[in-house]
Structure 1
Amino acid sequence: MNIKSLLLGSAAALAAVSGAQAADAIVAAEPEPMEYVRVCDAFGTGYFYIPGTETCLKIGGFVRFQTDFGRDKVTSKWNPASVPGNQATSDWDAFSRAYISFDAKSDTEYGTLTGFFAAEFNADADSDAGDSLIDVDEAYIQLGGLKAGFFYSWWDKGLNGETDTLGNNTEFNSIAYLYDGGSFQAGISLDELEAATTKANGLGVAGIVSASVGGVSFDLLGGFDTELEEGAIRALLSADLGPGTFQLAGIWASNPNAYWAESEWTVAASYAFKATDKLKITPGAQYFGDLQNGNDFDSGLDKWRAGLTLDYAITEGLATRVSVQYEDKDTINGGSEDQVFGFVRLQRDF
């Protein structure tokens, strides 16, 4: 081997070593594994695991457009613009509403831990409070059967359709416990009534017992207003009957109180008839005996109401509801006043 060959071979070796070192220097680091959102099926459909935790979250809600007709906006139970001082300027009113909820659940040694929050965003140009009203619908913590926060009480449960009125106030800041034995339930709640009574620091006590056998269920509910020292009891029966569900309810109250104040007694009934997979027809009726007169039920005046509610599922997630009600109420002068009212609703659930 001559000197020339030796030099050429050394140069080639050095070039190969340098190239290998350069190649090693620019090798990209391996990407870190991504954590994809996992479906959580432990609490039903729609839940997913919050990344990095064992907490399951479900986001839901709806968007609604509705037009009310034939009733004073102040007394309409479904009108979001029912605020003090709001005056009706016509016999119809259109509004829009967005509702969103967040439901977080996880398993613990004490049972399921839940944190729930829901809010409503209402748009109604006729409202004296402005064209956008934001309302906290519910906000509570629940561990097993123990529940604390702002939520709908058992008085909120009503009949199918839109004819009945079965609760005076249905949302409170409360502490409640419900024993759930499957076909049998029993619960008690302590409710803050300060926003529902004329006295400060109001406290209410409510209790419920429920049972279900086959297609029949029964609820017995009571509430006592400790400030007014008056109470009310309510019974509700629901039964699968033919192609629909029949419901019957009755209330008696000692005198007006935070839970029931409209009349001394009332009876209501409805039948939700499933005409097709998409159409449900629900007629209903209610009678009110001895309407409220100041702080008592001694008016001797009665009222009755009858109506019809139609529900139609246009497509998955989109439905419409139409309600038409007729009401006749006794007046102090011995006469009566009647009215027809209702609404047309379009709603997209998600």
Structure 2
Amino acid sequence: RVCDAYGTGYFYIPGTETCLKIEGYIRFQVDVGDQPLNGSVSNDSDWDAKTRGQVQFTAKSDTEYGPLTGVIVMQFNADNASDQDAILDSAYLDVAGFRAGLFYSWWDDGLSGETDDIGSIVTLHNSLRYQYESGTFYAGISVDELEDGFYKTDEEPNNVGVAFGVGGTAGAFSYQITGGWDFDNEDGAVRAMGTVEIGPGTLGLAAVYSSGPNSYYSAAEWAVAAEYAIKATDKLKITPGVQYYGDYYVAGDDFSDGDAWKVGLTVDYQIVDNFYAKASVQYLDPEDADDSTSGYFRLQR
């Protein structure tokens, strides 16, 4: 009962004032398309299978400032018997709205389907963050170490950025505004995203603008995306999506003059309780580069 206030799944550790929750997932996925990633490098095949196991430990205890939370997420990835890695996917401390450690930025958020390309290349940073929350509204600011994102020629990859996030819900409508400034690249980006329940599904819209390639957004100078997540049955969701890129990034230190567009379809199906299947196919057609088709099939428990 001591742990009930934190939600389901927590259990009390005797002799401490700490409640612990253990959760995770197992995922099997087959990627298809033009040279899918084999671990961290491209392969010469048009398909690649991989498996992931992830476990998350969440510890909570009461303090005079509110709950003190500690989270550790371990992720294990296997492309085959000899190509495997174990990574720390998150590890952070959180109390009274302050968070410090390795965790995902607001730029990791996106629409529910797989077509939208409106986030950072890398969204996991060592960061300091404060987030204010009140009911259905939140607003926050973070200082991020940008070590493995976008950096221009002759710039070192060790970098710093400042990001903000504002969002919330109002009935059937949800919204988020996210921004970031990359100090080494001297460029920034801002994004607006919203969803609303309409008919048998949820309409999602997003737009992003970047003053130049930077660690927060480097896919294009601007882009707009839309999707409609159709809840066909209690177990089946079908999500078509589309995105248009203005001045699509190809290579170098600046955006190209060419545009690009992308269209895709994602299907989610709940096989039984806690067991899910997902299939996705995407087509990308840049003006100044070759078009490509990619996708995947996933099973997850």
TM over 0.5: yes
The answer to whether the 8 A contact 2:72-2:90 is kept is yes
Q: TM-score, normalised by structure 2?
A: 0.94
Q: Higher Cα Rg: structure 1 or 2?
A: 1
Higher strand share: 2
Check if 1:223 corresponds to 2:203. no
Match for residue 203 of structure 2 among 246, 262, 276: 246
Matched residue, 2:58:
103
Displacement of 1:125 in angstroms is: 2.5
Check if 1:296 corresponds to 2:254. yes
The answer to whether the 8 A contact 1:39-1:47 is kept is no
The answer to whether the 8 A contact 2:248-2:286 is kept is no
Aligned length: 295
**Higher RCO (C-alpha 8 Å, min separation 6):** 2
CA–CA separation in structure 1 for the residues paired with 2:111 and 2:42:
30
Check if 1:175 corresponds to 2:175. no
Displacement of 1:202 in angstroms is: 1.0
Matched residue, 1:259:
216
| Unaligned segments of structure 2, at least 5 residues | none
Map 1:184-333; keep pairs closer than 5 Å.
184-196=137-149, 197=151, 198-292=155-249, 293-297=251-255, 299-331=256-288
Relative to structure 1, is the Cα distance of residues 200 and 94 closer, same or farther in structure 2, using a 3 angstrom cutoff? Answer: closer
Map 1:39-188; keep pairs closer than 5 Å.
40-74=3-37, 81=39, 83=40, 86-125=41-80, 130-168=82-120, 169-188=122-141
Displacement of 1:71 in angstroms is: 3.1
Higher helix share: 1
Deviations 1:9-66 (A, max 9, x none): xxxxxxxxxxxxxxxxxxxxxxxxxxxxx67221111111112222111100011111
Q: TM-score, normalised by structure 1?
A: 0.81
Report the RMSD for the aligned CA atoms in angstroms: 1.6
| Unaligned segments of structure 1, at least 5 residues | 1-37
Q: Which amino acid aligns with 1:262?
A: A
CA–CA separation in structure 2 for the residues paired with 1:227 and 1:247:
33
Displacement of 1:338 in angstroms is: 2.1
CA–CA separation in structure 1 for the residues paired with 2:45 and 2:176:
40
The answer to whether the 8 A contact 2:111-2:204 is kept is yes
The answer to whether the 8 A contact 2:31-2:47 is kept is yes
Q: Which amino acid aligns with 1:64?
A: R
Deviations 1:162-206 (A, max 9, x none): 111111221100000000011221100000012323425411000
| Percent sequence identity over aligned pairs | 53
CA–CA separation in structure 1 for the residues paired with 2:217 and 2:45:
30
CA–CA separation in structure 2 for the residues paired with 1:184 and 1:39:
28
